[in-house]
Amino acid sequence: MLNNGWICLNSYCHHKIMIIYTIIIPHKNIPVLLQRCLDSIPRRDDVQIIVVDDNSDLTQVDFENFPGLHDPYVEVIFDKNENSRKGAGYARNVGLERVEGKWIIFADADDFFTPEFPDLINEYRDTDYDIVFFMTRSVYSEDIDRITNRDYNNIRINSFLKKPSLMTEKQIRYGICEPWGKMIRASLIIDNNIRFEESSVANDFRFSLEIGHVAKTICAEKEPLYIVTHRDNSLSSQDLSYQIIRARMHIFNRAQTFFKQNNLPVTRQHFSYTMMWLLRKKTVWFFRICGTLIKEDKKNVLNIIDSFRIIPKMVKEKLNVKNHIPDSEKKK
């Protein structure tokens, strides 16, 4: 099927049973890891799996044997936008156009789900919550027996589970800024027209803030649903160019404005931490980016000033993360 510049190869449509869960996976140039992710998902008639390829390179991907292409439970969408790379955010938005499920679950192609995944989604199938936040595990992609410390969101979830309060609830509503590790009610996204930013970096930041803000009720689950992996050659692990830093700062600045407009004094650390890093390590970039932000809107100078006011709180949270022992490690 050809539609809006992309081709969808879909053999799932003959299943007429009601879809309950839609899993959306953006992909670019890592077919082996994508297959690992797909292998962790149960093939069930109530689960819709959508893979959106973001202009993968012909030299790195065998499109005739693309993961999921010949799987009747997987819809594969090949993006045909040849003008510019729009990143994972664009790919996720394409996937959102084809959602059939009551619940939406996001995954990155280099991550995968836990063995407990089928039981966990069954447990929350008929819940009235708008978002369910799950614990995660974190491992090295090349050696999944090696534990990493990328399960930092578990600190916020643990705090909420141990001592539910308005503050700990805000910390997971607005502080967990990745789309994975969550079950999100589809109507929450569709009815509020929430979409990802079409950026190569931090495309999920504003999306996560908005769903956390409009959700009427949320809950958290202590059992891990999802396994986050670390790769040395992933975008988050590479040296950051000026263009990448500038793109991040524009997104974080808009998020900073969002917090202020909605009177939310929490989780502004992304903007503040990057500003501090720029001032210490890339002073010229710091002034260039500040100038760009102020040129766009003079009110942005207030965000820049505010970013330095919360340094003590930011340092305290960083120390807590540094001293954090992953849950999987505690059991050893």
Could you give the CA distance from residue 197 to residue 214 in angstroms, rounded to a whole number? 18
Q: What is the pLDDT of residue 302?
A: 76
Residue type, 271: F
* Nearest Cα to Cα of residue 184 among 214, 222, 154, 224: 214
Predicted confidence (pLDDT) at residue 211 exceeds the cutoff of 70:
yes
Read off the pLDDT band of 164 (50, 70, 90): very high
Predicted confidence (pLDDT) at residue 3 exceeds the cutoff of 90:
no
Predicted confidence (pLDDT) at residue 208 exceeds the cutoff of 50:
yes
The pTM of the full predicted model, rounded to 2 decimals, is: 0.81
Q: What angle do CA 215, 216, 218 make, to 5 degrees?
A: 75
In this structure, what DSSP letter does residue 286 have?
H
Do 92 and 110 touch, CB atoms closer than 8 A?
no
b/e 51-80 (16+ beta carbons within 10 angstroms → b): bbbbbbeeeebeeeebbbeeeebbbbbbbe
Do 88 and 96 touch, CB atoms closer than 8 A?
no
Q: Please write the tens of the pLDDT for every residue from 223-272.
A: 999 999 988 766 554 456 777 777 777 777 777 778 778 877 555 466 67
Predicted confidence (pLDDT) at residue 221 exceeds the cutoff of 60:
yes
Could you give the CA distance from residue 132 to residue 31 in angstroms, rounded to a whole number? 29
Do 128 and 140 touch, CB atoms closer than 8 A?
no
Mean pLDDT of 68-73: 95
Could you give the CA distance from residue 200 to residue 113 in angstroms, rounded to a whole number? 24
* Residue carrying the six token digits 């760009």: 292
Q: What is the pLDDT of residue 4?
A: 46
* Nearest Cα to Cα of residue 74 among 15, 30, 116: 15
Q: Are strands 182-185 and 131-140 parallel, antiparallel or unpaired?
A: antiparallel
Do 23 and 41 touch, CB atoms closer than 8 A?
yes
Residues paired with 182 in a beta bridge: 133
Could you give the CA distance from residue 242 to residue 284 in angstroms, rounded to a whole number? 10
Phi and psi at 80, nearest 5°, equal -115, 20
Which helix (H) or strand (E) covers residue 272, if one does? helix 269-281
How many percent of the chain have pLDDT more than 70?
Answer: 80
Q: What is the pLDDT of residue 142?
A: 92
Do 266 and 171 touch, CB atoms closer than 8 A?
yes
User: Where does residue 83 rank: exposed (0-12), middle (13-18), buried (19+ CB within 10 A)?
Assistant: exposed
